[in-house]
Chain A
Amino acid sequence: MIKIISITLENEMDLVLAHKRSMRVAERLGLTAATQTTFATAVSEIARTVIEHTDHGILDIGLEQNKTRYSLLANVTFDPGIKFTNADSGFYYAQKLVPGFELIESAVANKVIMTIGLPRSLKLDPLKIAQLEQAFKEEPPLNAYEEIKQRNINLNRLAIEQEEELRQSKLIDEKKTEFISIASHELKTPMTVLKAYTQMARTTKEPINDSLRNLLSKIDTQSSKLLTLVQQLLDISKIENGNLQYHMKVVSLNSFLHAQVAIMRHILPHHEFGTVFCDDVEVMIDEIRMEQVMANLLGNAGKYSEKNTAIAIGTSRSEPGMVTVSVKDEGRGMNQETTASVFEKFYRAKDVLKSHTGLGMGLYISSKIITDHQGKIWVESMENSGSTFYFTIPITGRQ
């Protein structure tokens, strides 16, 4: 059937719609006034009978081509449990009105099909039918009830579409998370093995010569670098996915920072580290993530400054409830443009692209971690006069 209009049958107001719409279709097709009334009456009789039993009926009016002739059709669909008999007066009466009348019962739905053959003189063709379909799509609502009903249908359709969209995007998100978890495992396992074998070779009791020891040490350094990059890429995927999780714990800030500085002294043996801390405070942090921030800031301080220069780590209390941590170097510093963009993802200053390796992930991840700790991160810098990175985090417990 080429459907022209469809009306859900929920209450008496829909009977009025069913009647008026049936009239209108018959009229537009060019049927006589008598036939229009007959068709509309049959449709509304059946619609009334359906509404007496259920508010789930649906009326479809449309055309069907039968060889060279077209018929006007009204299908009324309703719940399979509902049985009509001739005792239902509307059902009985409608059968007398239309030439074609059929009741189809099935397990899924019951259906009444009413048909009126259309005279060839109407000269229906696909183009005219398409115009008719279009006309009914554009026809204004018959009354306020129909207007509300149409809006309701549109809203329902929108809601269903949005639900589907939401379901799809959830699915994609789940797939992404799953991928990151698999990638993390698949990339880190060979790294683990590589590092462990290197370590075993370095510490073997069998004699190895210095040049081999040197090579092994280089393999170890490079695999550590690779591992950091893999970890950063995975972190970025997690940040994008809103999936960076924290395991918060109360720690004493000064001892945490001392430990970080001690580690970095080994990694950057040619820099002088100095610390100026205010009275100790307790902070609620994810230690592993905060270690990442400190390794990033201290690592950058070393990376962008000359050997035998100083790196100063300080803490201070300027804002109530917060503690500020600073990392100051005596390095090359940054111009204004770089200072403004240095926390952006994958940002690398033009003047260090060739001279210093990196992917521009570290500070982006650090800023995300600090923000997630309810803190702020910023930098003060001038070209050739060093940089100072600052971040704040809330103080917890006793102050």
Chain B
Amino acid sequence: MKKIMIFDDDEDILDICTFILEEDGWEVGVFPDCSDLISRVATFAPDVILMDNWIPEEGGIVATKMLKDNSELCGIPVIYFSANSNIQLLASEAKADHYLAKPFDLEDLKDIARSAISGKDK
């Protein structure tokens, strides 16, 4: 089973994503902040990461950069997740592989998670 890690501080978003992605056959891990980010990601060993722009404490940009600067974890595709209308700029600044604007369509959520592991481009 493919594994996805979701970082978002909103409980409802975590619930929704879990519900939708589990239904779509994913093993889902949810995290309301990004403390101990590197060790948690290394332990969970996800196939994809969904990262919110406003994740406590450092925010999604710093967190994503940390992952992308880590030689062992940089290969895991990161989907950047935000309600900010400049999401494209934020995602490219964070060096994320894909982005998903909030509010999102549930189908888009499934699609982007699937396409992230198939190595397809955004």
Q: Which residues of A contact B (CB under 8 A)?
A: 181, 184-185, 188-189, 191-193, 195-197, 199-200, 203, 227, 231, 234-235, 238, 245, 247, 288
Contacts and interface: CB of A to CB of B under 8 A. Distances in A.
B102 A200 contact: no
A335 B89 CA distance: 41
Contacts of B88: 247, 288
Contacts of B84: 181, 184-185
Contact of A189 (B13, B86, B105): B13
B103 interface: yes
Contact of A184 (B13, B20, B85): B85
Contacts of B12: 193, 196-197
* The 3 nearest A-B residue pairs measured at CB: A188-B83, A192-B103, A193-B12
B16 interface: yes
Contact of B19 (A195, A200, A227, A231): A200
B103 A245 contact: no
A104 to B, nearest CB: 51
B31 interface: no
Interface of B: 10, 12-13, 16, 19-20, 53-54, 83-86, 88-89, 102-106
A247 B89 contact: yes
Nearest to B83: A188
Contacts of A200: 16, 19-20, 106
Contact of B103 (A191, A203, A234, A235): A191
Contacts of A181: 84
9 contacts: A184-B84, A185-B53, A185-B54, A185-B84, A189-B102, A192-B102, A196-B106, A200-B106, A247-B89
Contacts of A196: 12-13, 16, 20, 103-104, 106
Nearest to A289: B85
Contact of A188 (B16, B19, B103): B103
Given A184-B84, A188-B102, A196-B104, 6 more contacts: A192-B102, A192-B104, A196-B12, A197-B12, A231-B85, A288-B85
A199 B104 CA distance: 11
Nearest to B19: A200
B30 to A, nearest CB: 15
A247 B16 CA distance: 29
Interface centre among B84, B85, B86, B104 (most CB of A within 10 A): B85
A8 B84 CA distance: 54
Contacts of A288: 85, 88
B79 to A, nearest CB: 15
Contacts of B20: 196, 200
A188 B86 CA distance: 14
B83 A197 contact: no
Nearest to B103: A192
A193 B16 contact: yes
A184 B83 contact: yes
A189 B101 CA distance: 11
A356 B82 CA distance: 32
Given A185-B54, A200-B20, A227-B103, A192 B85 contact: no
A192 B104 CA distance: 7
A203 B102 CA distance: 20
B106 to A, nearest CB: 5
A245 B86 CA distance: 7
A196 B21 CA distance: 13
B103 to A, nearest CB: 4
B100 to A, nearest CB: 11
A169 B85 CA distance: 25
Interface centre among B88, B103, B105 (most CB of A within 10 A): B103
B40 to A, nearest CB: 23
A191 B105 CA distance: 12
A185 B13 contact: no
Contacts of B102: 188-189, 192
Contacts of A227: 103
Contacts of B85: 184, 231, 234-235, 238, 288
Contacts of A189: 10, 13, 83, 102
B103 A197 contact: no
Contacts of A185: 53-54, 83-84
